[in-house]
């Protein structure tokens, strides 16, 4: 399938991290009692997809997998980069939904799930070498 640029997509990862960090630091209280905190998505970085692959929640096409294994840089905004980041957001949203069904009253959001998956990737750094990630140089993340 050919790669096309149908629409520009902006991912505001750093802005989201700032809000999430403040919310977590102040435990959602005072000025950081954000009523819409659950509307923030995961941070669409390049490492969480490794954890998603590890848990079987994420799978690349053979051609994309081959490209990622070659460790070539993608250009910032490349449709493959945007697709990986967008699919990461969707995968985490689905995981949060499933986890919350099982938790009952206690709920998690995408911020907490992102933190778990990112931390898990760091804990399992050696094992994660088996799962390629996209490489992009950008000032936007």
In tens, the pLDDT along 49-71 reads 999 999 999 999 999 999 999 99
CB 5 within 8 A of CB 79: yes
Catalytic center residues? 45
Mean pLDDT (whole number) for 44-52: 92
For residue 3, is pLDDT > 90? Answer: no
pTM recorded for the entire structure: 0.88
Which single residue is written with the structure tokens 């980069």?
81
For residue 98, is pLDDT > 50? Answer: yes
Length of the chain: 141
Partners of 73 in the beta sheet? 135
Tell me whether strands 73-74 and 135-136 are parallel, antiparallel or unpaired.
parallel
CB 118 within 8 A of CB 45: yes
Partners of 135 in the beta sheet? 73
pLDDT, tens digit (0-9, with 9 covering 90-100), for 100-136: 999 987 799 999 999 999 999 999 999 999 999 999 9
Q: What whole-number distance in Å separates Cα of residue 141 and Cα of residue 133?
A: 15
Report domain extents, the chain. Answer: 42-136
For residue 24, is pLDDT > 70? Answer: yes
Q: What whole-number distance in Å separates Cα of residue 50 and Cα of residue 120?
A: 10
Tokens standing for residue 30: 């005072």
Q: What is the mean pLDDT of the chain?
A: 91
């Amino acid at each position: 399938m050919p790669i096309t640029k149908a629409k520009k997509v902006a991912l505001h990862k750093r802005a989201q991290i700032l809000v999430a960090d403040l919310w977590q630091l102040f435990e959602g209280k005072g000025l950081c009692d954000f009523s819409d905190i659950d509307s923030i998505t995961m941070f669409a970085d390049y490492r969480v997809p490794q954890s998603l692959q590890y848990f079987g929640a994420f799978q690349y096409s053979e051609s994309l997998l081959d490209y990622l294994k070659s460790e070539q840089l993608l250009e910032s905004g490349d449709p493959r980069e945007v697709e990986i980041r967008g699919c990461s957001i969707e995968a985490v949203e689905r995981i949060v939904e499933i986890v919350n069904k099982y938790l009952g009253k206690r709920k998690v959001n995408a911020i907490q799930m992102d933190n778990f998956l990112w931390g898990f990737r760091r804990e399992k750094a050696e094992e994660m070498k088996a799962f390629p990630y996209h490489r992009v140089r950008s000032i936007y993340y």
